[in-house]
A and B are shown apart, each in its own frame.
Chain A
Amino acid sequence: QTVVTQEPSFSVSPGGTVTLTCGLSSGSVSTTYYPSWYQQTPGQAPRALIYSTSTRSSGVPDRFSGSILGNKAALTITGAQADDESDYYCLLYMGSGISVFGGGTKLTVL
């Protein structure tokens, strides 16, 4: 069974840039997996940030961007702010109606 991999944790300084990645235990992520990214703060519902690799969801500031870097999907936050401190999850479409979330990355801004 293919596992979607993410860094368990990451830290960034306020104003800094951080890139979170989303890979596969076997194979490469491409646009055909329609990677999307979700942000979740504790006790809250997730919020969509990026879909279809690089399209920002409505209302998401342009300091969030998505891409494919090498064999992984990537979420880059430019000019990190304190309220970006959250858990970030990628979602990949595996085909045949099935999607799989990565394990999530806990981002600390300090």
Chain B
Amino acid sequence: EVQLVESGGGLVQPGGSLRLSCAASGFTFTSYAMTWVRQAPGKGLEWISNIDGSGGSTYYADSVEGRFTTSRDNSKNMLYLQMHSLRAEDTAVYFCARGGYLLMGLWGDGTTVTVPS
């Protein structure tokens, strides 16, 4: 089955760290860029990061630059988002999506990160 499954969310104290994972299956993982998108409670979608198929190039929104790192393990069909120095405003559902700026055609169901204020 073609799918993406996120995991790793949870409650973390301000200033803490968390690593999210996204398991891909059913397609040739290396053929696709991958993207992380988040959605704060009651708010809209926010593009936060993208990585190319080889993992050699990564891009970040200003809001997470320097605090978050996106990586992938193509041998395991896994995408990761390492988050440091977490703030209350990072509280959101985090989605991984297959594709880059052109089309994000497959999405996971998301994993929730909560950073209390």
Binding site for B on A (CB under 8 A): 1, 34, 36, 38, 40, 45-48, 51-52, 57-58, 87, 89, 91, 93, 96-104
A58–B105 touching, CB < 8 Å: yes
Given contacts A45-B107, A98-B47, 20 further A-B contacts (CB under 8 A): A45-B108, A45-B109, A45-B110, A46-B95, A46-B97, A46-B107, A48-B104, A51-B103, A52-B102, A96-B59, A97-B57, A97-B101, A98-B59, A99-B47, A99-B50, A100-B61, A101-B44, A101-B45, A101-B46, A104-B45
> Which bracket fits the contact residues of B?
20 to 34
Describe B's contact surface by its main secondary structure.
loop
Q: Determine which of B45, B57, B62 lies in contact with A46 in the assembled complex, contact meaning CB atoms within 8 Å.
A: B45
A98–B61 touching, CB < 8 Å: yes
> Which residues of chain A are within 8 angstroms of B35 by Cβ–Cβ distance?
99
A97–B59 touching, CB < 8 Å: yes
Closest residue of chain B to A102, judged by CB? B44
Closest residue of chain B to A106, judged by CB? B44
Contact with A along B81-101 (1 / 0, CB 8 A): 000000000000001010011
Cα–Cα, bound, A83→B44 (Å): 20
A100–B59 touching, CB < 8 Å: no
Cα–Cα, bound, A91→B57 (Å): 20
